[in-house]
Amino acid sequence: MGYPDYMYESIKLVEATRPRRAEMAKEGLQKFLKPLSAEEREKVLRDNHPDYQPEARKPIRVGPNKGEHLTSEVVDILERPSRLPRDFKLEPVDYETDVLVIGGGGAGCQAALWAAKNGAKVILCTKLRLGDANSMMSQGGMQASVNPGDSPLIHYLDAIGGGHFDNKPELLKIMTSEAPYIVKFLEELGVIWDKLPDGHYQTQSGGGASRRRMLSCRDYTGAEIMRVLRDEVRNHPEEITILEFLPALELIKDEEGKAAGAVLFDMETGQYHVVKAKVVVLATGGFGRIHIRGFPTTNHYGATMDGLVMAYRAGARLLHMDSVQFHPTGAIYPPQIHGFLITEKIRAMGGQPVNAKGELFVYPMEPRDVEASEYIQECKKGLGVRTPDGQYGIWLDSPLIEILHGSGTIERAFPAMFRQYKRFGIDIRVLPMLVYPTLHYQNGGVEIEENCHTSVPNLLAAGEVSGGVHGRNRLMGNSVLDYNVFGRRAGIEAAKLARETEIKGRLNVDHVWEYEEELKGEGIETKGYSPLLLPEYRNLESLKRHRTEFDPFAPAGL
């Protein structure tokens, strides 16, 4: 294992330019490389970003956003029929509760905790285990203006510029102004932030940020926060019932059209469970596993856009679902880690993107969409490094970090990355990492307002499934912040709403059948059902065997 021999020609060139590039970094890279202007950003995005390519978007023919251009793969999944059998009966009700939280990642755990704190009985259901979510995988950090030279206002300005000025201002105000409180709240639960000897937070810069604002927990930031939140949720067995391995299939409404629960589905046994709830909080995460435009993804196995599908059928409006985040630095070699996330913190601490000739060709701290587009462009120019299976990547020169911050820094600050590469025979203290953009984040989602309400009464949403706060491009460290801020708000609001809510009349899933009628009316016939629940990685041969020999749970079957 390790890099194939032929790559060392290029690695030698990287090594040759490294001392000079280290000098530049010490003097401040801004002196040598200017961040792009508005016009230059626009051009590199238009020419290279996957969102701007032909066929990346198409109009959706049904539902609340009918006629709008959304990401093509999103449209394909939204325009499918439900997995629920047509004769499905919502009786008996298996569980009854004040608040149903769908999703066991960061947003779901925050929502469950705060709903419980505010007096609600909560059921939290999740497709896999509690904490199995993208939240667990975030590496680099969380943004919060905790330094004297920074402020919530500068955080706001950075995020709105990074988001192409499309962010909903009132959401962004809430996120940036509540960020320092979230730091404190998590610390009081026992999250171990990286700190300086005097107790102040260690902070790094991030792409598109004009100040050092990134707090971290080594490069296990998401894991540290998520495991603490999970542990805390499990400390409230009286108020919070946890249902693991039970994904939601469809939302349930009452006769007034309010969200009133969900149908859950046991993927092993094919059994359905009906949950009746006064308020539903959707915290199902994003869509990386739908592999938009064939890109590999950094995302969790469960990130299949389920919540968005259920909400859309129930009549919830979507926002910014024409925009996809590709993380600039996904691993492209070795093949076992293809598409895996290489944290932005590598660049924040001085790792530089360089081409096959060893040239630093871009300011390393552009917003993610711009940075990713620059890498794609460099490879198109023929200045990338070829992998044995014919793909191209650029070098992320990690050994610079040891030069700039002293030997031992990588093992201390990046234990996860160091371990990841070591498993495949590459020592990133001395060798650069080969990277290419990878599908990372759902910028948009179900549109929410300040208290997480969607356009469906009693349906709240928080975290990656929701849309608005990031505009059309999220900055690093703002998703961890987003799910904490809005997960908490959703929980508080859900408890309040539950006290005021009375479920009226018959529980029903009529909206599901009305949506299917709409599909038929448009003459839309598709293969397959949605939500996907799990991605498909079996080879064609084995799939054929399953289709012909047994399919015990069709059409809900997997």
Partner 1 sequence: MTQDLIPIYIYSRKYYVPEGSTIITALEYLGFKLKKGVGCKEGFCGACASLYRLKGDYKLKGGLGCQTVVQPEMQIVQIPFVPAPKAVYKIEELQPDPEIFVRYYPELYRCLSCNTCTKICPQELQVMDFVQAAVRGDFEQVANLSFDCIMCGLCSARCPAEITQFNVAMLARRIYGKYLMKKSTFLEQRLKEIESGKYEEGYRELMSLSQEELKNRYFQREIDFQIT
Residues carrying an active site annotation: 327, 347
The three-class DSSP label of residue 86 is: coil
Shortest Å, Cβ 28 to partner 1: 8
Segment contacting partner 1 (CB under 8 A): 162-170, 257-265, 471-479, 509-517?
A: 162-170
Q: Identify the helix (H) or strand (E) that includes residue 226.
A: helix 221-233
Of residues 66-125, which lie at the interface with partner 1 (CB under 8 A)?
A: none
33 binding partner 1? (CB under 8 A): no
Shortest Å, Cβ 160 to partner 1: 7
54 binding partner 1? (CB under 8 A): no
Q: List C-alpha distances in Å: 308 to 69, 218, 317, 490, 536.
A: 16, 32, 10, 17, 19
Cβ neighbours of residue 327 closer than 8 Å, sequence gap 6 or more: 298, 341, 344, 368, 372, 437, 438, 439, 440, 441
Shortest Å, Cβ 173 to partner 1: 5
Of residues 484-543, which lie at the interface with partner 1 (CB under 8 A)?
A: 534, 537-539, 541-543
In eight-state DSSP terms, residue 35 is P
449 binding partner 1? (CB under 8 A): no
404 binding partner 1? (CB under 8 A): no
35 binding partner 1? (CB under 8 A): yes
Please say which residue, 460 or 480, places its beta carbon nearer to partner 1.
Answer: 480
Q: How many Cα neighbours within 13 Å face the side chain of 275? A: 31
Shortest Å, Cβ 217 to partner 1: 8
| Rounded Cα gap, residues 36 and 461, in angstroms | 35
38 binding partner 1? (CB under 8 A): yes
What value, to the nearest 5°, has the Cα angle with vertex 345 and ends 339 and 346? 70
Contact 176, 130 (CB under 8 A): no
User: Sign of dihedral through CA atoms 431, 434, 439, 441?
Assistant: positive
Out of 152, 293, 513, 518, the only residue in the binding site for partner 1 (CB under 8 A) is 152
Please say which residue, 228 or 448, places its beta carbon nearer to partner 1.
Answer: 228
In eight-state DSSP terms, residue 82 is B
Segment contacting partner 1 (CB under 8 A): 50-58, 418-426, 462-470, 485-493?
A: 418-426
Out of 51, 73, 98, 224, the only residue in the binding site for partner 1 (CB under 8 A) is 224
Of residues 318-347, which lie at the interface with partner 1 (CB under 8 A)?
A: 335-337, 340-341
| Helices within 118-201 (DSSP H only) | 152-162, 169-189
Residues touching partner 1, count (CB under 8 A): 93
| Rounded Cα gap, residues 506 and 265, in angstroms | 21
Of residues 361-380, which lie at the interface with partner 1 (CB under 8 A)?
A: none
| Rounded Cα gap, residues 365 and 349, in angstroms | 11
Structure token pair of residue 498: 């539950």
| Rounded Cα gap, residues 451 and 461, in angstroms | 9
Of residues 165-194, which lie at the interface with partner 1 (CB under 8 A)?
A: 165, 169-170, 173, 177, 180-181, 183-184, 187-193
252 binding partner 1? (CB under 8 A): no
Phi, psi (degrees; rounded to nearest 5) at 486 = -85, -25
| Rounded Cα gap, residues 473 and 521, in angstroms | 35
Shortest Å, Cβ 542 to partner 1: 3
Candidates 131, 304, 161; CA nearest to 227 is 131
Burial (CB count <10 Å: 0-12, 13-18, 19+), residue 167: buried
Shortest Å, Cβ 84 to partner 1: 19
Out of 48, 65, 126, 205, the only residue in the binding site for partner 1 (CB under 8 A) is 205
Please say which residue, 340 or 392, places its beta carbon nearer to partner 1.
Answer: 340
Out of 245, 361, 513, 553, the only residue in the binding site for partner 1 (CB under 8 A) is 245
48 binding partner 1? (CB under 8 A): no
Of residues 266-295, which lie at the interface with partner 1 (CB under 8 A)?
A: 267-268
